Protein backbone atom coordinates (compact mmCIF):
# COMPACT_ATOMS: atom_id res chain seq x y z
CA UNK A 1 0.00 0.00 0.00
CA UNK A 2 2.86 2.37 0.80
CA UNK A 3 4.50 1.72 -2.58
CA UNK A 4 1.19 2.25 -4.40
CA UNK A 5 0.61 5.48 -2.48
CA UNK A 6 4.06 6.79 -3.41
CA UNK A 7 3.53 5.83 -7.05
CA UNK A 8 0.17 7.60 -7.25
CA UNK A 9 1.59 10.63 -5.47
CA UNK A 10 4.44 10.86 -7.96
CA UNK A 11 1.99 10.55 -10.87
CA UNK A 12 -0.22 13.29 -9.41
CA UNK A 13 2.74 15.66 -9.16
CA UNK A 14 3.26 15.52 -12.93
CA UNK A 15 1.27 18.18 -14.77
CA UNK A 16 -0.48 16.61 -17.74
CA UNK A 17 -0.79 18.04 -21.20
CA UNK A 18 -3.97 17.88 -23.26
CA UNK A 19 -4.39 15.45 -26.16
CA UNK A 20 -6.95 16.30 -28.84
CA UNK A 21 -7.76 13.51 -31.29
CA UNK A 22 -10.02 13.41 -34.33
CA UNK A 23 -9.23 16.94 -35.48
CA UNK A 24 -9.30 17.58 -39.23
CA UNK A 25 -8.06 19.97 -41.85
CA UNK A 26 -9.63 20.36 -45.31
CA UNK A 27 -7.03 19.67 -47.99
CA UNK A 28 -7.52 20.92 -51.53
CA UNK A 29 -4.32 19.16 -52.59
CA UNK A 30 -5.46 15.73 -51.35
CA UNK A 31 -9.14 16.43 -52.00
CA UNK A 32 -10.32 15.28 -48.58
CA UNK A 33 -10.32 15.99 -44.88
CA UNK A 34 -7.06 14.94 -43.22
CA UNK A 35 -7.09 13.98 -39.58
CA UNK A 36 -4.48 14.93 -36.99
CA UNK A 37 -3.88 14.56 -33.27
CA UNK A 38 -2.19 17.23 -31.18
CA UNK A 39 -0.54 17.33 -27.76
CA UNK A 40 -0.62 20.69 -26.00
CA UNK A 41 1.63 21.09 -22.94
CA UNK A 42 0.04 21.54 -19.50
CA UNK A 43 0.48 25.32 -19.45
CA UNK A 44 -0.80 26.02 -22.97
CA UNK A 45 -4.33 27.11 -22.01
CA UNK A 46 -3.19 29.16 -19.00
CA UNK A 47 -0.51 31.16 -20.80
CA UNK A 48 -0.12 33.36 -23.85
CA UNK A 49 3.37 32.21 -24.74
CA UNK A 50 4.44 30.69 -28.05
CA UNK A 51 5.89 27.17 -28.10
CA UNK A 52 8.36 25.11 -30.11
CA UNK A 53 6.83 22.27 -32.09
CA UNK A 54 7.68 18.70 -32.99
CA UNK A 55 5.88 17.01 -35.87
CA UNK A 56 5.70 13.34 -34.81
CA UNK A 57 5.07 10.95 -37.70
CA UNK A 58 3.44 7.51 -37.46
CA UNK A 59 4.43 4.27 -39.15
CA UNK A 60 2.98 2.20 -41.97
CA UNK A 61 -0.51 0.75 -41.26
CA UNK A 62 -0.91 3.18 -38.36
CA UNK A 63 -2.57 6.60 -38.12
CA UNK A 64 -2.37 9.89 -36.25
CA UNK A 65 -3.44 8.26 -32.98
CA UNK A 66 -0.74 5.57 -32.96
CA UNK A 67 1.86 7.58 -31.07
CA UNK A 68 -0.66 8.21 -28.27
CA UNK A 69 -2.36 4.81 -28.20
CA UNK A 70 0.74 2.61 -28.51
CA UNK A 71 3.64 5.01 -28.05
CA UNK A 72 2.39 6.81 -24.94
CA UNK A 73 3.95 9.96 -26.36
CA UNK A 74 1.84 12.22 -24.17
CA UNK A 75 2.89 10.46 -20.96
CA UNK A 76 6.54 10.49 -22.01
CA UNK A 77 6.37 14.20 -22.84
CA UNK A 78 4.56 14.97 -19.55
CA UNK A 79 7.28 13.23 -17.55
CA UNK A 80 10.14 14.81 -19.46
CA UNK A 81 8.67 18.30 -19.16
CA UNK A 82 8.01 17.80 -15.44
CA UNK A 83 11.64 16.76 -14.91
CA UNK A 84 12.83 19.67 -17.08
CA UNK A 85 14.53 17.22 -19.42
CA UNK A 86 12.75 18.83 -22.39
CA UNK A 87 11.13 22.26 -22.69
CA UNK A 88 7.36 22.60 -22.98
CA UNK A 89 6.47 21.86 -26.58
CA UNK A 90 3.56 21.21 -28.89
CA UNK A 91 3.55 17.80 -30.57
CA UNK A 92 1.58 17.43 -33.80
CA UNK A 93 0.75 13.99 -35.21
CA UNK A 94 -0.76 14.03 -38.74
CA UNK A 95 -2.45 11.09 -40.44
CA UNK A 96 -0.50 10.16 -43.57
CA UNK A 97 -2.21 6.89 -44.44
CA UNK A 98 0.21 4.74 -46.46
CA UNK A 99 1.66 7.68 -48.41
CA UNK A 100 5.17 7.42 -46.91
CA UNK A 101 4.79 11.20 -46.48
CA UNK A 102 5.85 11.95 -50.06
CA UNK A 103 4.36 12.79 -53.45
CA UNK A 104 3.85 9.54 -55.31
CA UNK A 105 5.29 8.77 -58.74
CA UNK A 106 2.35 10.01 -60.85
CA UNK A 107 1.22 12.91 -58.68
CA UNK A 108 -2.08 11.30 -57.73
CA UNK A 109 -1.18 11.47 -54.02
CA UNK A 110 0.77 14.63 -53.15
CA UNK A 111 1.24 14.25 -49.43
CA UNK A 112 4.52 16.17 -49.25
CA UNK A 113 2.90 19.12 -51.01
CA UNK A 114 -0.04 18.92 -48.60
CA UNK A 115 2.25 18.85 -45.57
CA UNK A 116 4.30 21.91 -46.51
CA UNK A 117 1.77 23.97 -48.45
CA UNK A 118 -1.33 23.34 -46.34
CA UNK A 119 -0.73 21.45 -43.12
CA UNK A 120 2.24 23.25 -41.56
CA UNK A 121 0.88 26.73 -42.40
CA UNK A 122 -2.55 25.81 -41.03
CA UNK A 123 -1.19 24.35 -37.79
CA UNK A 124 1.12 27.27 -37.19
CA UNK A 125 -1.62 29.82 -37.79
CA UNK A 126 -4.08 28.08 -35.43
CA UNK A 127 -1.73 27.31 -32.53
CA UNK A 128 0.82 29.48 -30.76
CA UNK A 129 3.98 28.13 -32.38
CA UNK A 130 7.31 29.91 -32.64
CA UNK A 131 8.16 30.59 -36.27
CA UNK A 132 11.95 30.32 -36.30
CA UNK A 133 13.56 27.23 -37.86
CA UNK A 134 15.38 26.31 -34.65
CA UNK A 135 12.03 25.81 -32.89
CA UNK A 136 10.78 23.27 -35.44
CA UNK A 137 11.55 19.58 -35.06
CA UNK A 138 10.37 16.45 -36.83
CA UNK A 139 10.50 12.85 -35.60
CA UNK A 140 8.92 9.53 -36.42
CA UNK A 141 9.15 5.75 -36.54
CA UNK A 142 9.52 3.35 -39.48
CA UNK A 143 7.58 4.95 -42.37
CA UNK A 144 7.46 8.05 -40.18
CA UNK A 145 11.21 7.83 -39.65
CA UNK A 146 11.60 7.81 -43.43
CA UNK A 147 9.29 10.84 -43.64
CA UNK A 148 11.33 12.52 -40.90
CA UNK A 149 14.55 12.16 -42.86
CA UNK A 150 12.99 13.14 -46.19
CA UNK A 151 11.45 16.29 -44.72
CA UNK A 152 14.57 17.35 -42.81
CA UNK A 153 16.95 16.60 -45.70
CA UNK A 154 14.80 18.02 -48.50
CA UNK A 155 13.69 21.04 -46.46
CA UNK A 156 16.68 21.88 -44.25
CA UNK A 157 15.58 25.52 -44.10
CA UNK A 158 12.45 24.57 -42.09
CA UNK A 159 13.72 22.25 -39.34
CA UNK A 160 16.36 22.71 -36.69
CA UNK A 161 16.50 19.05 -35.71
CA UNK A 162 15.14 15.63 -36.60
CA UNK A 163 15.03 12.25 -34.88
CA UNK A 164 14.33 9.09 -36.88
CA UNK A 165 13.54 5.84 -35.08
CA UNK A 166 13.90 2.62 -37.11
CA UNK A 167 13.59 4.73 -40.24
CA UNK A 168 12.34 2.91 -43.33
CA UNK A 169 15.54 3.44 -45.30
CA UNK A 170 16.43 1.07 -48.14
CA UNK A 171 19.67 0.89 -50.04
CA UNK A 172 19.49 0.81 -53.85
CA UNK A 173 20.57 -2.83 -53.73
CA UNK A 174 17.69 -3.70 -51.40
CA UNK A 175 15.18 -1.96 -53.69
CA UNK A 176 16.43 -3.94 -56.68
CA UNK A 177 16.18 -7.25 -54.79
CA UNK A 178 12.56 -6.86 -53.64
CA UNK A 179 10.42 -9.67 -55.07
CA UNK A 180 8.24 -8.55 -57.98
CA UNK A 181 5.10 -9.91 -56.34
CA UNK A 182 5.85 -8.05 -53.09
CA UNK A 183 6.56 -4.86 -55.02
CA UNK A 184 3.28 -5.05 -56.95
CA UNK A 185 1.02 -6.13 -54.09
CA UNK A 186 2.01 -3.58 -51.47
CA UNK A 187 2.87 0.11 -51.02
CA UNK A 188 5.94 0.35 -53.34
CA UNK A 189 3.93 0.25 -56.56
CA UNK A 190 1.56 2.95 -55.28
CA UNK A 191 4.36 5.19 -54.07
CA UNK A 192 7.10 4.55 -56.64
CA UNK A 193 5.28 3.00 -59.58
CA UNK A 194 5.64 -0.29 -61.45
CA UNK A 195 9.02 -1.74 -62.24
CA UNK A 196 11.35 -4.66 -61.79
CA UNK A 197 14.97 -4.80 -60.71
CA UNK A 198 17.07 -1.75 -61.55
CA UNK A 199 14.18 -0.20 -63.49
CA UNK A 200 12.74 0.76 -60.09
CA UNK A 201 15.61 3.15 -59.44
CA UNK A 202 13.87 6.05 -61.12
CA UNK A 203 14.71 9.70 -60.63
CA UNK A 204 11.56 9.98 -58.53
CA UNK A 205 12.66 7.20 -56.19
CA UNK A 206 16.21 8.54 -55.93
CA UNK A 207 14.90 12.02 -55.12
CA UNK A 208 13.30 10.61 -51.98
CA UNK A 209 16.07 8.21 -50.95
CA UNK A 210 17.69 9.59 -47.75
CA UNK A 211 20.99 7.98 -48.71
CA UNK A 212 20.91 9.48 -52.20
CA UNK A 213 19.90 12.89 -50.87
CA UNK A 214 22.89 12.91 -48.52
CA UNK A 215 25.23 11.82 -51.31
CA UNK A 216 24.03 14.44 -53.81
CA UNK A 217 22.66 17.39 -51.81
CA UNK A 218 24.61 20.45 -50.66
CA UNK A 219 26.34 19.18 -47.53
CA UNK A 220 26.58 22.64 -46.01
CA UNK A 221 22.81 23.01 -46.06
CA UNK A 222 22.35 19.59 -44.48
CA UNK A 223 24.77 20.55 -41.71
CA UNK A 224 22.25 23.17 -40.58
CA UNK A 225 19.94 20.38 -39.33
CA UNK A 226 20.78 18.34 -36.24
CA UNK A 227 20.25 14.66 -37.14
CA UNK A 228 19.55 11.73 -34.81
CA UNK A 229 19.29 8.12 -35.98
CA UNK A 230 18.22 5.20 -33.76
CA UNK A 231 17.71 1.70 -35.14
CA UNK A 232 17.74 -1.69 -33.43
CA UNK A 233 20.45 -4.23 -34.16
CA UNK A 234 17.83 -6.76 -35.29
CA UNK A 235 15.59 -4.31 -37.13
CA UNK A 236 14.46 -4.91 -40.71
CA UNK A 237 16.00 -1.54 -41.63
CA UNK A 238 19.35 -2.03 -39.89
CA UNK A 239 21.34 -2.08 -43.14
CA UNK A 240 19.67 1.01 -44.60
CA UNK A 241 20.24 3.01 -41.43
CA UNK A 242 23.85 1.86 -41.19
CA UNK A 243 24.51 2.90 -44.79
CA UNK A 244 22.87 6.27 -44.18
CA UNK A 245 25.23 6.70 -41.21
CA UNK A 246 28.15 5.90 -43.51
CA UNK A 247 26.95 8.39 -46.14
CA UNK A 248 26.58 11.14 -43.52
CA UNK A 249 30.02 10.35 -42.14
CA UNK A 250 31.65 10.42 -45.57
CA UNK A 251 30.09 13.82 -46.28
CA UNK A 252 31.26 15.01 -42.83
CA UNK A 253 27.72 15.87 -41.78
CA UNK A 254 27.47 15.80 -37.96
CA UNK A 255 24.85 13.43 -36.60
CA UNK A 256 24.07 11.05 -33.75
CA UNK A 257 23.77 7.36 -34.57
CA UNK A 258 22.39 4.84 -32.07
CA UNK A 259 22.19 1.06 -32.38
CA UNK A 260 20.37 -0.50 -29.44
CA UNK A 261 19.33 -4.05 -28.71
CA UNK A 262 15.93 -4.50 -30.30
CA UNK A 263 13.75 -4.99 -33.33
CA UNK A 264 10.86 -3.30 -35.18
CA UNK A 265 8.32 -3.12 -32.33
CA UNK A 266 6.56 -0.54 -30.17
CA UNK A 267 8.54 -1.32 -27.02
CA UNK A 268 11.67 -0.22 -28.88
CA UNK A 269 10.10 3.06 -30.02
CA UNK A 270 8.57 3.82 -26.62
CA UNK A 271 11.97 3.32 -25.00
CA UNK A 272 13.63 5.56 -27.57
CA UNK A 273 11.18 8.46 -27.73
CA UNK A 274 12.44 10.18 -24.56
CA UNK A 275 16.00 10.47 -25.91
CA UNK A 276 14.68 11.54 -29.31
CA UNK A 277 12.66 14.36 -27.74
CA UNK A 278 15.65 15.33 -25.57
CA UNK A 279 17.81 15.56 -28.69
CA UNK A 280 15.31 17.78 -30.49
CA UNK A 281 14.50 19.73 -27.33
CA UNK A 282 18.12 20.68 -26.85
CA UNK A 283 17.81 22.70 -30.05
CA UNK A 284 15.07 24.77 -28.40
CA UNK A 285 17.46 25.88 -25.64
CA UNK A 286 20.39 28.26 -25.70
CA UNK A 287 23.69 26.43 -24.99
Q: How do the pLDDT tens digits run along the chain, 287 residues long?
A: 544 444 444 445 778 999 999 999 999 999 999 999 999 999 999 999 999 999 999 999 999 999 999 999 999 999 999 999 999 999 999 999 999 999 999 999 999 999 999 999 999 999 999 999 999 999 999 999 999 999 999 999 999 999 999 999 999 999 999 999 999 988 999 999 999 999 999 999 999 999 999 999 999 999 999 999 999 999 999 999 999 999 999 999 999 999 999 999 999 999 999 999 999 999 998 77
pTM of the predicted structure, to 2 decimals = 0.94
Domain 17-284 indexed as CATH 3.60.110.10 = no
Domains of the chain, by residue range, sit at: 17-284
Strands across the sheet containing 256-258: 18-27, 32-40, 90-94, 53-57, 136-141, 161-165, 226-230, 256-258
What angle do the packed helices 266-281 and 73-82 form, to 10 degrees? 40
Amino acid sequence: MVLLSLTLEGYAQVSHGVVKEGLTIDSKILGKKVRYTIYLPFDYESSSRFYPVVYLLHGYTDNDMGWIQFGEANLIADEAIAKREIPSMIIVMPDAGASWYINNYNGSIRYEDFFFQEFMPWIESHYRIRQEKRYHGVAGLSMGGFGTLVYALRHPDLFGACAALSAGVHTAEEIVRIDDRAWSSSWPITVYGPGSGEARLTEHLRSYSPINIVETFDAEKLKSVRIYLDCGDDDIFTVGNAMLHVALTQKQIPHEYRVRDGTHIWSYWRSGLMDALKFIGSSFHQP
